[in-house]
Chains A and B, each alone.
Chain A
Amino acid sequence: MSIGTGTDLGGTGLGGVGVGGAGTGGSDPASEPIGGPLQPPVLAPGRARRMQLPRSPKIVAGLVILIVFLIMAIVGPIVAPYDPSASLSTTNGTPQPPSAAHWLGTTQTQQDVFSQLLVGARSTILVALLSGVAATILSVLIGVSAGYLRGRWADDFLSMLANFFLVMPALPLLIVIFGFLPPSQNTDDVLIGLIIAITGWAWGARVLRAQTLSLRSRDYVESARIIGERGWRVIGFEILPNLAPVVASSFLFTVLYGVGTYTALAFLGLINPLHWSWGSMLFEAQGSSAEISGYWWWYIPPGLAVAFLGTSLALLNFGIDEFINPRLRAAGVTRRRAKKAGDKGLPRRFELGVTPVVRTTAPGSTPAAAGAAMADRTQEQPS
């Protein structure tokens, strides 16, 4: 019996919902006819395509924000003007609003919020990246093996394991685990990241399994097998390279999940509050009722930082989704942009039944070429 692997839970249609995991699993490039001369990009991740990837404004914006945060994580604790845990004045009991001395104001105990934000960046981002890497390794190992061993008991077992972890609510489980963790160990970023990864790999494994299933029956994989290539070689050299966009998307998704989960755990006070992260800043702010007393400078910086870090990861994820599914790309082309491209033949609004697909243009060509590529697809439409 293989539970949840086929029709019963819509194995391929899962990615459409949830945090940031938009549409990756929802569109199986193998089973779905993509119009025009365009091949499913998953099949041909050649060098030229990889070069084009950063062109999408979503990817550029996501990358820029992410790099800013990465720099913050690296240099933050070094350039922080104050010790984040030090009370800078023992006489004053109310948080001070932003000033020249304290750019983001102070907390109830007169700690510098700006320094906490800079110091907290490292732990937050480190835990998120670690959990992303660990969960992605787990999901590739489990998802690809399950897909490659389709139908055998190992596939059934691994799929069932993934389904268990998908259905079981992750945060409450983590709360129980961290609750029992002795306080001396809950400030270890590596350990925190690994524990979060245990609950975060299942989604990626499932999407990768579905994708591997569709790849393993392709002709080139079949022929590699018939030639007599070994299993690990088929997986490593024929299947895995073509899973790259899905792996990347699953990695970003788990990093996003790691940020949110670590922040939530610290917000609940399960991590030692003196181990500064954005979540522990929010824990302190909530403990002193910063939101009811109007101390906005205390809780808005860490909250916004988490939100923007998450947004940048989600934007990158969207970019990859559009890379995988050209229709999503076309849907974002507005009339105005098409007009700017100098195309008059475009309909006033895209009609149902036909979505123009933006043809991937050669490097150096003008946007007009993209518009023209759209037009030849829209001509099929009933007028």
Chain B
Amino acid sequence: MRIIIRRLAFYIATAILAVTVVFFIPRLMPGNPVEAVLAQLHGTVTPATIRSLELQYGLNNPEGLWGQYLTYWSHLLHGNLGVSTSYYPSTVTSVIRSALPWTLGLVGVATIISFVLGTLLGILVAWRRGTWLDNLLPATTFFQAAPYFFVAFLALDLFSTRLGWFPSGRAYGQLDFPGWNAAYIGDVLDHAILPAATIVLCSAAGWIVGMRNVMVTTMDEDYVLVAMAKGLAKRRVVWYAARNAILPSVSGFSLAIGFVVSGALLTEIVFSYPGLGWILLQAVGARDYPLLQGIFLIITFAVLLANLAADSVYVFLDPRTRQEA
């Protein structure tokens, strides 16, 4: 338990650092963000909005840097991330709230599938090393190195445009929300298969190689030899080895999850999927700074939460961490 609390403290510190970084970037960068924003709005803003934007980016602000920083925190804790300039007059919070469920559903499910599938395949490849399964490794190298969105391009062109098996983007067919009936859910799933498959294909490669490499080393341990000598079933021996080999995979989760989420956001763009990636593209195109910052914070918080979950799983898997307390 102590270890979880220590990790929690670390993640909270990281979150505070992330907020601080996001607060200071616009103030340290050359150029005037407010003018850039106003250029996008084409005179549709009231003087009050201009004033609030100026305050947000520290121009003509009487509060001083520290005061602005505290105000930023106070707004943040009240869920106020400012007004989106590209979706004006919607607030950043409401824009993110409408996109977040799609991303959580797509990326969350795809990440879990790819972790489980990749780990299992990694075990299999390590166990059956020296057979044809080794040929899987060069292919995984390619998918590891290819940008997610390029694979998404290929998937869309092949399976949607040419073969017509899947819809060519968006998350559902109808324009308005018909309610949670079977047809709607089926439609949503139909639209999610191709982007999810892309994410799984690209991210599973990393888990396969990682698991395989640790597994190859673990299978040499003396306890595995003893288990074999005792005459345990091979399946069982592999299970014992795999339980130990999976630990680095789980602890390396923090490094991988950032890559997977970033890649998944770009995949969403290719599929016009109405999640965070898609509004991120809009925000970049319109230089919508409040929205950009909001998306960064939300993604960071989500990644930190996923890390905390992975740490909890780690404590569950590795009895040594529990004995310490």
Contact = CB atoms under 8 A, between A and B. Distances in A.
A110 interface: no
Contacts of B216: 327-328, 331, 355
Interface in A162-181: 163-164, 166-173, 175-177, 179-181
B312 interface: no
Nearest to B3: A8
Interface string A164-204: 10111111110111011110010000000000000000010
A41 interface: no
Contacts, number: 297
Contacts of A181: 29, 31
B34 to A, nearest CB: 12
A175 B248 contact: no
Tell which of A16, A176, A353 has the most Cβ of chain B within 10 Å: A16
Given A19-B145, A170-B258, A331 B126 contact: yes
Contacts of B9: 3
Nearest to A333: B130
Contacts of B292: 175-176, 179
A286 B270 contact: yes
Contacts of A82: none
A286 B217 contact: no
B289 A203 contact: no
B243 to A, nearest CB: 14
B130 A291 contact: no
A23 B122 CA distance: 13
Contacts of A267: 147, 149, 266, 269
A353 B225 contact: yes
Given A26-B248, A168-B18, A291-B153, A9 B220 contact: no
Interface residues of A, number: 90
A323 to B, nearest CB: 13
Contacts of A172: 262, 265, 280, 295-296, 299-300
A351 interface: yes
Nearest to B257: A169
14 contacts: A19-B259, A35-B220, A169-B299, A173-B18, A173-B296, A177-B25, A203-B255, A269-B284, A292-B157, A307-B147, A310-B144, A331-B134, A352-B234, A354-B220
Interface of A: 1, 3-4, 7-10, 13-23, 26-27, 32, 35, 160, 163-164, 166-173, 175-177, 179-182, 185, 203, 256, 260, 263-264, 267-270, 282, 285-286, 290-294, 296, 299-300, 303-304, 306-311, 313-315, 318, 321, 325, 327-328, 331-335, 349-355, 382
Kindly list the 10 A-B residue pairs having the minimum CB-CB distance in the complex, ordered from nearest: A310-B145, A13-B248, A353-B225, A303-B150, A10-B251, A16-B210, A23-B213, A17-B252, A171-B262, A307-B146
Interface of B: 3, 6-7, 9-11, 13-14, 17-18, 21-22, 25-26, 29-31, 33, 126-131, 134, 141-142, 144-147, 149-150, 152-154, 156-157, 160-162, 168-169, 206-207, 209-211, 213-214, 216-217, 219-222, 224-229, 234, 237-238, 241, 247-249, 251-259, 261-262, 265-266, 269-270, 280-281, 283-285, 287, 289, 292-293, 295-296, 299-300, 303-304, 307, 311, 314, 320-321, 324
